[in-house]
Amino acid sequence: MNPLIGLQLWSVRNALQADFFGTLDKIAEIGYVNLQINPGATAQGLDFGNGITAAQVRKHLDRLGLKAVSLHIVPDASTDWERLIADTHTVGATTLACAIAFFTRRQEVLEFCKDFNQKAELCKKSGLSYYYHNHFHEFQTFKGKTIFDTMIENLDPALVPFELDTYWATRGGADPIELMKRLGKRCDLLHQKDLPAGAKPVNWFDHFGQDRKLGLDELVETVDDTQFTEVGEGILDIPGFIATARAYCDPKYIFVEQDMSALGEMESIQVSLKNLKRLLGSD
């Protein structure tokens, strides 16, 4: 029964930096199969760090029976999209997702959407899909409309789907269930972590306010291990998210993504996998 479980490798970023291939071995031992990798999007194509190439990543994945089904990227003006797309095919992924973008006014959002549509069309011609992934700051309001609403309206629905991070949407004051109902099949990838009962405020705009310039520094301010817990260990309505996604979105994957944890990285992703299997009825 859909969706399949995946792992966003940001969850184990420190282990990957220390031993990329050894960490993949451990991930396979824990029981994950479907991965979302977050390489750099550079002028030379995808950068997996430490001189590791896309071909080497694919060879190791194949040996372990793992699949890179998606890649998270943060492209900039120097990104060579032809090389990036070629490397994406080498790794075996069929989807790309823009991991993050920041905005200070509505016009910037509109310009971003125009460029994003062009990149998404390029990806589609190459057999790939290009998604947008949210954090909390996309629910900031510019001229009476949230950034996310502006994106929904200006990113081409025929080209650009959304990868909804239910935790970050909640922390932006949004209702993930209502967003999934609104987006429908345009939202067939999900990111899942959980919110501890003691994390306050739930809505980060109660801390920052709607008029604060929000960038990477502000996002980093929200990321500590008291604000995150493993899937199924917190207060988010994950059963409701799953039921809504199945009813409205035809979801392909739910990716475990643990930004921070009081546990070690490997223990954290093991707990989330066990709990998510139970919540999906697949344990």
Q: Where are the domains of the chain?
A: 4-280
Domain 4-280, what architecture?
A: Alpha-Beta Barrel (3.20)
Query: The whole model's pTM is what?
Result: 0.96
1: pLDDT strictly greater than 60: no
Q: Specify whether the backbone of 16 is left (phi greater than 0), alpha (psi in -120 to 50) or beta.
A: alpha
* Closest to 62 in 3D by CA, of 29, 95, 24: 24
Mean pLDDT for 215-244 is 96
Express each pLDDT in 91-101 by its tens digit.
Answer: 999 999 999 99
Mean pLDDT for 114-125 is 98
Mean residue pLDDT of the chain comes to 97
**pLDDT value for 283:** 65
**pLDDT value for 240:** 98
Express each pLDDT in 148-178 by its tens digit.
Answer: 999 999 999 999 999 999 999 999 999 999 9
Question: Rounded to an integer, what distance in angstroms lies between the CA atom of residue 142 and that of residue 138?
Answer: 10
The label of the residue with tokens 């549509």 reads 117
